[in-house]
Amino acid sequence: MPLRANLQKLVERARQLPPLPAAVVYPCDVDSLQLALAGAFAGYLAPTLVGPDARIRDTAMRAGLDISRLPIVDTADDSAAAAERAVQLAREGRVEALVKGMLSDGALLTPVAAPENGLRTDSRLSHATLLDVPGRAQPLIVADDRLNVAPTLAAKRDILSNTIELAVSLGIARPAVALLAAVDGPSAAFASTADATALKAMAAGGAMHGARVDGPMTPDVALSSEAARLQGASSEVAGRADVLVAPTMECAVMVVRTLVAVTGALTAGLVLGARVPIVATARNETMESRIASCVLACVAARAARGRGPLDATTAGGAPAREAATRVAA
């Protein structure tokens, strides 16, 4: 197994924290149960299984897994019912994170985004993927490769703010953020460059938790000091980016998958913008990646708790935003 230096740092932080109470939602498959057991054994999760008791126990028995020490909150054998109950547990303060089991993103996030009884904050939901890239001294964070397909400028502001807040919670005090585009300057051919310019201006006004934000910027300039030198980029973000914010979900997916394929990076991801972190793993993710996402949730949740109660506004006192939350099915 490759050395995961950045993940190991997060694991060491998580081990110094109390176990994170987390609802594992509709864990009716072996992978979800193994993930809950691994988190409990390692000490960074205090998992509660939320779903149909009989089916969960039958799945565990068939797989030879001992879940006798894990509490189960029984629901109807329906993923939507399990998600609604898990959200209720989070609202009551009985859990501080949600972990996706055998259900779709939409089934999990629909009750989260409910205006009255959900877990919404003043921000849109977004997703961030952390990559532990071999040879990098710090993790790299990419947004948004899961939820917002073609975000508006208002949505991008929320994505940017959510992702910077995550970076800060991981100990990156002044994250260097690159707003990605196809070219390094304003261009009528690429609408994303106008959005990047506007977001940079917002950040310059102090609205982004003290992050260093620059763009539009191409990925090579953002990541490579040599590419930045050759193209004459003098920005303090160029060649030093901690966070990449892509103009669309399609672009973000391509960035993440290219980096994983070329470097062998490990990924971990979180849904951000809710009152608790949400681990929404994909079915093709490795167990190592799933565990990394839970460790990430543990560190992020404890950092958020240190900033104030769950119902507080996001750090920095950002005003309420009216952008609607979009849930990917």
Query: Residue 2 — very low, low, confident or very high, per pLDDT cuts 50/70/90?
Result: low
Pick the residue with more confidence: 130 or 282?
Answer: 130
CA distance 207 to 316: 7
Is residue 298 scored above 90 in pLDDT? yes
Helix (H, G, I), strand (E, B) or coil at 317: coil
One-character DSSP codes across 22-68:
EEEES--SHHHHHHHHHHHHHTSEEEEEEE-HHHHHHHHHHHT---T
CA distance 103 to 282: 10
Q: Which residues contact 254 (CB under 8 A, 6 or more apart)?
A: none
How confident is the model over 86-108, as pLDDT tens digits? Answer: 999 999 999 999 999 999 999 99
Going from the N-terminus, what domains does the chain have, and what CATH number goes with each?
Answer: 1-121+274-316 (3.40.50.10950), 127-268 (3.40.718.10)
Is residue 169 scored above 70 in pLDDT? yes
Query: Strand runs (DSSP E) across the chain, as ranges?
Result: 20-25, 45-51, 72-74, 98-100, 126-132, 140-143, 176-180, 212-217, 243-245, 266-272, 278-279
How confident is the model over 7-27, as pLDDT tens digits? Answer: 899 999 998 999 999 999 999
Q: With contact defined as beta carbons under 8 Å apart, do 321 and 155 qualify?
A: no
